[in-house]
């Protein structure tokens, strides 16, 4: 074979041996490499480059690449472009008690699983092992130890109609969670798979509406009740019309609990106590799954129902079909009209509002609603009830006017830990500190409660919780549960205990997630699962009893159940 012919065949063979990659694979790899550079590179992590714009340039530069080998070369050059003679990598181990290092979120397996080739893989491993990391993009608050993303301020002239801008939005969000969300390990879909799943949505989101829906689906992947995003777009475009009555989701049905406009409700043939068992020819669970499951981020499906109480019958259509069980026990199909707005006229409620902060249920049982009661009133009521057989603390709300120390005066015989906290490790992407020490713990340790006290309350404490119990209310609940005589009854709570962390995305939208992990002293996690329940309550739409929780609490106190 002559030499020119051999060279021609070699070139042809080489061209045919190139590994084709899909658009999803290409942009997934770009997001992974851009993210590890952002948070692991000695110089980039210190803010030496306008990193959002660098991604936009990269996306535009590789637009025509369709082969893995060409992409690998492009990414090798991209990494080396930012590694100067002055760039200092450091592989010294982090200085922390290794027993406290939380590694459930440490996942760099993608470096070996993707066909990057030996040269690019070596560059990525060097980045992974680098400990000379700046805090320009993710810093730790000195007082709270919570993460802050102060230098994420969005970009000027963000245009969701540009593919590069949409992908920047996705990659920014995904990498913040990948490297800094200590609860990432709890998502339904392994986080490393989420990026590839969402690429198509953002590639194809060529209208404002499609882009906004893609973002909602992106947030929903967090499975975090703190990160729900009821955006302006949802209210104004997707669910901008509503019925003239309100419902409460109980089990798999909707109980009509409020009529906002008597005339319009009567016109629709809707009455208090009616039970809706189907929507648009679907059962209520099917309708929730089809319509909302991918649009709202929640820690558990129980809290999704709480979020949807005021939302489930909203739509952007003029009407909805419903199947209803009337008070007379008759199943009927109806079409109800939806309105952009209506006047509140002769509104009626099936469930009366609790107006008192406390009341005597019996001479020996006191009920305290924690929602609005002040520290002073709480203390006064507790002192009067010290000889009671039982005190019912209603935490089916969000306490506004009391503090943890208000409980510590009465509930604990000694000081004790009520929560173990998981915090992100400063300048250590993907790493957490389990059973972290509280900042300023010498002044006041927020993870412990109580003091030595022989005169603590020795009767039964019945703690009432439900889907509305979330965030700070769950924090209070964990503390109350550590009192020696506490019994918790109710329904699965929100499952998002600790402080909220927020960051601003390239399109200037702020998003939220639970910034720390919470565990009982025995190591049992509360994030997503919610508070531990001793006696579950199961409500029913039929013959609905708004006093069910309190009646059960009284029964437990009077029966002497421990």
Query: In CATH, what number is assigned to the domain containing residue 246?
Result: 2.30.42.10
**255 by DSSP, 3-state: which?**
strand
For residue 228, being part of any structural domain is answered with: no
Domain boundary among the residues 309, 326, 349 is at: 349
Q: Name which of 292, 311, 303, 308 is nearest 467 in CA terms.
A: 303
Given a contact cutoff of 8 angstroms between Cβ atoms, the answer to whether 454 and 413 are in contact is yes
Integer-rounded Cα Rg, in Å, for the chain is 28
Q: Residue written as tokens 């309350």?
A: 457
**209 by DSSP, 3-state: which?**
helix
Model pTM above 0.85? yes
| 424 CB-near residues (< 8 Å, 6+ apart) | 138, 140, 147, 180, 181, 182, 431, 432, 433, 515, 516
For residue 327, being part of any structural domain is answered with: yes
For residue 229, being part of any structural domain is answered with: no
Domain boundary among the residues 294, 324, 349 is at: 349
**73 by DSSP, 3-state: which?**
helix
Same domain flag for 38 and 182: yes
Same domain flag for 461 and 333: no
For residue 230, being part of any structural domain is answered with: no
Same domain flag for 257 and 119: no
For residue 394, being part of any structural domain is answered with: yes
Q: CATH no. for residue 362?
A: 3.90.226.10
For residue 177, being part of any structural domain is answered with: yes
Domain boundary among the residues 349, 377, 395 is at: 349
pLDDT tens track, the chain, 562 positions? 555 544 444 444 444 468 999 999 999 999 999 999 999 999 999 999 999 999 999 999 999 999 999 999 999 999 999 999 999 999 887 777 788 899 999 999 999 999 999 999 999 999 999 999 999 999 998 878 889 999 999 999 999 999 999 999 999 999 999 999 999 999 999 999 999 999 999 999 999 999 999 999 999 999 999 997 667 788 888 899 999 999 999 999 999 999 999 999 999 999 999 999 999 999 999 999 999 989 999 999 999 999 999 889 999 999 999 999 987 788 999 999 999 999 988 899 998 887 889 999 999 999 999 999 999 999 999 999 999 999 999 999 999 999 998 988 899 999 999 999 999 998 899 999 998 887 765 456 889 999 899 999 999 999 999 999 999 999 999 999 999 999 999 999 999 998 899 999 999 999 999 999 999 999 999 999 999 999 999 999 998 999 999 999 999 999 876 6
Same domain flag for 138 and 254: no
What separation, in Å, do the N-terminal and C-terminal C-alpha atoms of the chain show?
92
Same domain flag for 203 and 75: yes
What span, in angstroms and rounded, lies between the C-alpha atoms of 498 and 475? 7
Same domain flag for 489 and 453: yes
What span, in angstroms and rounded, lies between the C-alpha atoms of 386 and 363? 12
For residue 231, being part of any structural domain is answered with: no
| 80 CB-near residues (< 8 Å, 6+ apart) | 123
> In Å, what is the CA distance from 127 to each residue of 28, 107, 135, 157?
18, 14, 16, 32
User: Parallel, antiparallel, or unpaired for β 282-283 and 275-279?
Assistant: antiparallel
Residue 191 is part of which domain span?
A: 14-222
How many domains does the structure of the chain reveal? 3
Burial class (CB in 10 A: 0-12, 13-18, 19+), 283: middle
DSSP 133-144: ---SSSEE-TTT
Same domain flag for 85 and 218: yes
């Amino acid at each position: 074979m002559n030499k020119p012919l051999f060279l021609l065949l070699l070139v042809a063979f080489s061209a045919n041996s190139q590994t084709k990659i899909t658009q999803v694979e290409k942009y997934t790899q770009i997001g992974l490499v851009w993210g590890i550079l952002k948070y692991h590179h000695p110089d980039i992590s210190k803010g030496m480059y306008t990193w959002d714009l660098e991604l936009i340039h990269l996306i535009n530069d590789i637009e025509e690449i369709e082969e893995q080998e060409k992409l690998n070369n492009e990414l090798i050059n991209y990494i080396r472009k930012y590694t100067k003679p002055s760039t200092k990598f450091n592989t010294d181990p982090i200085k922390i008690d290794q027993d406290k290092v939380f590694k459930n979120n440490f996942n760099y397996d993608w470096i070996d699983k993707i066909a990057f080739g030996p040269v690019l893989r070596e560059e990525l491993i060097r980045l992974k092992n680098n400990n000379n990391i700046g805090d320009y993009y993710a810093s730790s608050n000195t007082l709270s130890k919570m993460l802050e993303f102060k230098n994420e301020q969005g970009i000027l002239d963000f245009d969701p109609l540009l593919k590069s801008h949409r992908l920047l939005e996705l990659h920014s969000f995904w990498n913040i969670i990948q490297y800094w969300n200590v609860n990432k390990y709890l998502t339904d879909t392994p986080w490393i798979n989420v990026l590839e799943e969402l690429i198509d949505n953002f590639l194809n989101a060529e209208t404002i509406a499609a882009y906004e829906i893609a973002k909602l689906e992106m947030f929903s992947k967090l499975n975090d009740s703190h990160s729900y995003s009821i955006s302006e777009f949802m209210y104004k475009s997707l669910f901008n019309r509503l019925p003239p009555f309100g419902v409460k989701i109980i089990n798999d049905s909707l109980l009509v609990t409020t009529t906002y406009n008597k005339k319009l409700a009567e016109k629709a043939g809707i009455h208090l106590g009616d039970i809706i068992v189907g929507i648009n020819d679907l059962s209520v669970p099917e309708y929730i799954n089809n319509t909302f499951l991918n649009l709202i981020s929640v820690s558990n499906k129980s809290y999704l129902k709480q979020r949807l109480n005021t939302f489930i019958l909203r739509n952007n259509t003029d009407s909805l079909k419903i199947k209803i069980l009337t008070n007379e026990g008759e199943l009927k199909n109806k079409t109800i009209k939806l309105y952009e707005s209506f006047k509140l006229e002769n509104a009626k409620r099936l469930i009366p509002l609790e107006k008192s902060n406390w009341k005597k249920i019996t001479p020996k049982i006191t009920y305290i609603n924690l929602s609005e009661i002040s520290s002073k009133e709480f203390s006064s009521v507790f002192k009067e009830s010290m000889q009671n057989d039982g005190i019912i603390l209603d935490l089916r709300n969000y306490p506004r006017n009391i503090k943890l120390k208000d409980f510590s005066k009465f509930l604990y015989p000694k000081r004790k830990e009520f929560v173990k906290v998981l915090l992100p490790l400063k300048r250590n992407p993907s790493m957490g500190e389990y059973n972290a020490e509280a900042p300023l713990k010498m002044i006041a340790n927020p993870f412990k409660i109580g003091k030595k006290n022989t005169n603590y309350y020795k009767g039964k404490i019945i703690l009432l919780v439900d889907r509305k119990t979330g965030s700070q209310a769950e924090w209070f609940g964990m503390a109350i549960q550590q009192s020696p005589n506490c019994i918790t009854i109710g329904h699965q709570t929100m499952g998002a205990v600790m402080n909220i962390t927020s960051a601003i995305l390239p399109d200037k939208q702020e998003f939220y997630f639970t910034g720390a992990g919470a565990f009982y002293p025995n190591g049992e996690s509360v994030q997503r699962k919610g508070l531990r329940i001793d006696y579950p309550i199961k409500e029913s739409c039929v013959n609905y009893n708004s006093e069910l929780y309190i009646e059960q609490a009284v029964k437990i106190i009077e029966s002497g159940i421990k």
